[in-house]
Amino acid sequence: MSSTFIESSGLSFSWPDGTVVFDGLDFSIGPGRTGLIGTNGSGKSTLLRLVAGLLRPTAGSLQTAG
Protein backbone atom coordinates (compact mmCIF):
# COMPACT_ATOMS: atom_id res chain seq x y z
CA MET A 1 0.00 0.00 0.00
CA SER A 2 1.37 3.39 -0.99
CA SER A 3 1.67 6.17 1.56
CA THR A 4 0.95 8.82 -1.10
CA PHE A 5 -2.45 10.48 -0.82
CA ILE A 6 -2.15 13.03 -3.66
CA GLU A 7 0.43 12.85 -6.45
CA SER A 8 1.11 15.20 -9.34
CA SER A 9 3.37 14.56 -12.32
CA GLY A 10 4.05 17.29 -14.86
CA LEU A 11 0.87 19.11 -13.86
CA SER A 12 0.14 22.16 -15.98
CA PHE A 13 -2.85 24.45 -15.95
CA SER A 14 -3.68 27.60 -17.90
CA TRP A 15 -6.83 29.70 -17.85
CA PRO A 16 -8.68 30.17 -21.18
CA ASP A 17 -7.15 33.66 -21.55
CA GLY A 18 -3.68 32.04 -21.64
CA THR A 19 -2.63 32.87 -18.07
CA VAL A 20 -0.31 30.06 -16.94
CA VAL A 21 -0.89 28.97 -13.34
CA PHE A 22 1.24 25.79 -13.19
CA ASP A 23 3.79 24.46 -15.67
CA GLY A 24 5.24 21.00 -15.02
CA LEU A 25 4.42 20.81 -11.30
CA ASP A 26 5.54 17.58 -9.56
CA PHE A 27 4.66 16.80 -5.94
CA SER A 28 3.39 14.09 -3.64
CA ILE A 29 1.52 14.44 -0.36
CA GLY A 30 1.15 11.68 2.20
CA PRO A 31 -1.77 11.20 4.57
CA GLY A 32 -1.99 13.43 7.62
CA ARG A 33 -1.89 17.16 8.10
CA THR A 34 -0.64 19.29 5.24
CA GLY A 35 -0.80 23.06 4.84
CA LEU A 36 -0.98 25.03 1.63
CA ILE A 37 0.32 28.57 1.88
CA GLY A 38 1.21 31.24 -0.64
CA THR A 39 0.63 34.82 -1.65
CA ASN A 40 -2.62 36.08 -3.17
CA GLY A 41 -3.00 34.84 -6.72
CA SER A 42 -0.35 32.13 -6.44
CA GLY A 43 -2.71 29.26 -7.37
CA LYS A 44 -3.75 27.74 -4.03
CA SER A 45 -7.47 27.69 -4.82
CA THR A 46 -6.82 26.57 -8.39
CA LEU A 47 -4.75 23.63 -7.12
CA LEU A 48 -7.52 22.61 -4.72
CA ARG A 49 -10.08 22.84 -7.54
CA LEU A 50 -7.87 20.57 -9.65
CA VAL A 51 -7.56 18.07 -6.79
CA ALA A 52 -11.35 18.13 -6.28
CA GLY A 53 -11.93 17.52 -9.99
CA LEU A 54 -13.68 20.84 -10.56
CA LEU A 55 -11.02 21.84 -13.10
CA ARG A 56 -9.07 19.71 -15.58
CA PRO A 57 -5.30 20.04 -16.03
CA THR A 58 -3.98 21.40 -19.31
CA ALA A 59 -1.29 18.68 -19.21
CA GLY A 60 0.18 16.14 -16.83
CA SER A 61 -1.57 14.00 -14.26
CA LEU A 62 -3.05 14.40 -10.82
CA GLN A 63 -4.01 11.31 -8.84
CA THR A 64 -5.70 10.99 -5.47
CA ALA A 65 -6.17 7.95 -3.27
CA GLY A 66 -9.78 7.01 -2.71
Residue 43 is which amino acid?
A: G
Question: Domain locations in the chain?
Answer: 6-64
pLDDT in tens, 38-61: 999 999 999 999 999 999 999 999
Q: What is the pTM of this model?
A: 0.87
In order, the DSSP letters of the chain are ----SEEEEEEEEE-TTS-EEEEEEEEEE-SS-------TTSSHHHHHHHHHTSS--SEEEEEE--
pLDDT at 66: 66
pLDDT in tens, 27-42: 999 888 889 999 999 9
pLDDT at 3: 80
pLDDT in tens, 2-30: 587 999 999 999 999 999 999 999 999 98
